[in-house]
Amino acid sequence: AQSVAQPEDQVKVAEGNPLTVKCTYSVSGNPYLFWYVQYPNRGLQFLLKYITGDNLVKGSYGFEAEFNKSQTSFHLKKPSALVSDSALYFCAVRWGGGGNKLTFGTGTQLKVEL
């Protein structure tokens, strides 16, 4: 079975500083990895995905993520955080044997402070 771990419930950074939100995964076979962001009382917005190819994936709003197969990680990064980036971030994995289903991590609350 596939699983996703987001080890940090909350991440705090100062505006202008780089941010990292961690994600590790466990699947059989090749993973398809996604990051989503959720603002209060809203659905999830797609940020980026890794399917194949370059390990560094660039997405919306200046976010990027690096796929690391040996460490089974897919950490989300941004070089310079904004207060408006404060939200709940979810990592998700889809695997070839699971059809279209996504398995989500538990989410990481990002707080960017002035």
Partner 1 sequence: GAVVSQHPSRVICKSGTSVKIECRSLDFQATTMFWYRQFPKQSLMLMATSNEGSKATYEQGVEKDKFLINHASLTLSTLTVTSAHPEDSSFYICSARDGAGEVQPQHFGDGTRLSIL
For residue 58, the minimal CB distance to partner 1 (Å) is 15
For residue 51, the minimal CB distance to partner 1 (Å) is 5
State how far the alpha carbon of 52 is from the alpha carbons of 11, 61, 88, in Å: 28, 21, 26
State how far the alpha carbon of 30 is from the alpha carbons of 93, 97, 110, 112, in Å: 10, 9, 28, 33
For residue 39, the minimal CB distance to partner 1 (Å) is 9
Per CB under 8 A, does 5 bind partner 1?
A: no
For residue 9, the minimal CB distance to partner 1 (Å) is 9
- DSSP letter for 72, please: T
- DSSP letter for 15, please: T
Q: Which residue number, 13 or 105, has a Cβ lying nearer to partner 1?
A: 105
- Tell which one of 1, 43, 54, 70 touches partner 1 (CB under 8 A): 43
End-to-end CA distance of the chain: 41
Q: Which residues bind partner 1 (CB under 8 A)?
A: 32, 34, 36, 41-46, 49, 51, 90, 94, 99-102, 104-107
